[in-house]
A and B are shown apart, each in its own frame.
Chain A
Amino acid sequence: MEKLSFRHTTRTALPGTRASAITGVVASGNLEVLLERNLAPDACHVEIDTAIKGYAEVWAAVVADFVARRQPGGLTITINDGGARPDTVSLRLAQGARLMELP
């Protein structure tokens, strides 16, 4: 297991007022993402607990792209990862952001 933590500053806050959302399942090659709106509107923290060590750089890149694309300001995002591939991670993050934007 490896714990990773990323802190980003965003230009804007993520739209919507949902307090929290969860998507995905912890399974082999899959992950769950818990999103909570509890930070300053220009902050985004991502905490990851992953089953597979040694992919910190890939995680950093995936998270940075997600933050740049979605501007998830205000969110703490906590991930339990069962060894998902980066594309699955991107998909879940996007799904989570969409849930948080729902009215």
Chain B
Amino acid sequence: MDWKPVALSAESRDQSWYEASARARLAGLLDVDTFQEFIGPEQRQMSPHLPLFALPRAFDDGMIVGRGRLDGRDVLAAAQEGRFMGGAFGEIHGAKLVGLLRAALAVKPAAVLILFDTGGVRLQEANAGETAIAEIMRAITQVRAAGIPVIGLIGGRAGCYGGGGLIAGTCAHLVISEGGRLSVSGPEVIETNKGAEEFDSRDRALVWRTMGGKHRRLLGAADAFVADTIGAFREAALAAIPEAPSFDLATLEAEQARLEARLERFGDTRDATEIWGRLGVNDPAAVPSLTTEGFDALLDSLPEGSHHAR
């Protein structure tokens, strides 16, 4: 096993996705200097609601949308800034993504990329955020039905929670890194509502084993697992464009079968390690400590290929 530490480099594509800002992710993900933002920060389209709560606003409301090139192909991209209000969906934050998806129907890009980094709905604008999430999901299915892949990238600090998790589930293809978490209810939410016996949110190994990138990839909830670098996400996004499934009855029937089979096969499990064992992983306890290369080798060694209809 290769235990070499992370390389030290200032090259943008070697930067940690997890640590990078939303803008830095976009800059490194897309071809150099090709990103053009819509409703840029200089327009100061900020939340009209946060001042009521005496909270500071951001020029972009934590959502950056625009166009750029990915290996020469025109794409539209949206990135959430997980450090601003936990990347949560508010009125403007959500409306920018709605607009981007609607624009996709008009400009027909090669793909729409969504760089998730969100705790879900912004409570201070809960109704607007919740409604925007519904609009986004509807728009995604329309974009997909028009033959344009919508690809989600998950590896930020805030993870992809709440309504963000549902939007991700609507995408045609998901790329996730080890640090990425994908779920509906967060650990703290479950603990608050159901008690620490149900979910001990301080047991971070449990959190990642249940919601983290490796588990989601093994389970089939994400299509690609990548190292935590901007470059790795870029490569995976590129590879995803031709692979994305169409949005039609056949795809959803396949997904229905996939999800029913999962319940049938794993419905009685309590812990991710049991699921991994049933998938044919010889040493489930060792999975969390595997490097990206080690994990890739594990994926290759598993008896079944991936079947990711979504």
A binding-site residues for B, Cβ under 8 Å: 1, 20, 22, 25-27, 30, 32, 34, 36, 49-51, 78, 80-83
Q: How many residue pairs, one in A and one in B, have C-beta atoms under 8 Å apart?
A: 44
CB pair B57–A25 under 8 Å, yes or no, is no
Complex contacts, A34 vs chain B, CB 8 Å:
41-42, 59
Complex: A26 Cα to B85 Cα, angstroms: 8
Q: Which residue of B lies closest to A49 (CB)?
A: B56
A25: contacting residue among B42, B51, B54, B81, CB under 8 A: B81
CB pair B42–A26 under 8 Å, yes or no, is no
Q: Bin chain B's interface residue count.
A: 10 to 19
Tell me whether A32 and B59 are in contact in the complex, defined as CB-CB below 8 angstroms, given that A20-B42, A25-B21, A51-B54 are known contacts: yes
| Chain A: minimal CB distance from B117 (Å) | 11
Give chain B's interface secondary structure class: loop
Complex contacts, A20 vs chain B, CB 8 Å:
42
CB pair A80–B42 under 8 Å, yes or no, is no
CB pair A49–B83 under 8 Å, yes or no, is no
Complex contacts, B84 vs chain A, CB 8 Å:
25-27
Q: Which residue of A lies closest to B37 (CB)?
A: A22
Complex contacts, A32 vs chain B, CB 8 Å:
41, 58-59
Give chain A's interface secondary structure class: strand
B binding-site residues for A, Cβ under 8 Å: 21, 23, 41-42, 44, 46, 51, 54-59, 81, 83-84
Residue among B44, B81, B83 facing the most chain A CB atoms (10 A cut-off)? B83
| Chain B: minimal CB distance from A96 (Å) | 12
Complex contacts, B23 vs chain A, CB 8 Å:
22
CB pair B56–A82 under 8 Å, yes or no, is yes
Complex contacts, A82 vs chain B, CB 8 Å:
56
CB pair A26–B57 under 8 Å, yes or no, is yes
A26: contacting residue among B44, B51, B54, B56, CB under 8 A: B56
8 interchain pairs, CB-CB under 8 A: A1-B54, A22-B23, A25-B58, A26-B57, A26-B58, A26-B84, A34-B59, A36-B42
Q: Which residue of A lies closest to B54 (CB)?
A: A1
Complex contacts, B58 vs chain A, CB 8 Å:
25-26, 32, 80
Complex: A78 Cα to B54 Cα, angstroms: 18
| Chain A: minimal CB distance from B115 (Å) | 14
Complex: A34 Cα to B81 Cα, angstroms: 16
Complex: A36 Cα to B56 Cα, angstroms: 20
Q: Which residue of B lies closest to A76 (CB)?
A: B42
Q: Which 8 A-B pairs have the closest CB atoms?
A: A27-B83, A26-B58, A51-B56, A25-B83, A22-B41, A82-B56, A26-B84, A26-B56
Complex contacts, B44 vs chain A, CB 8 Å:
78
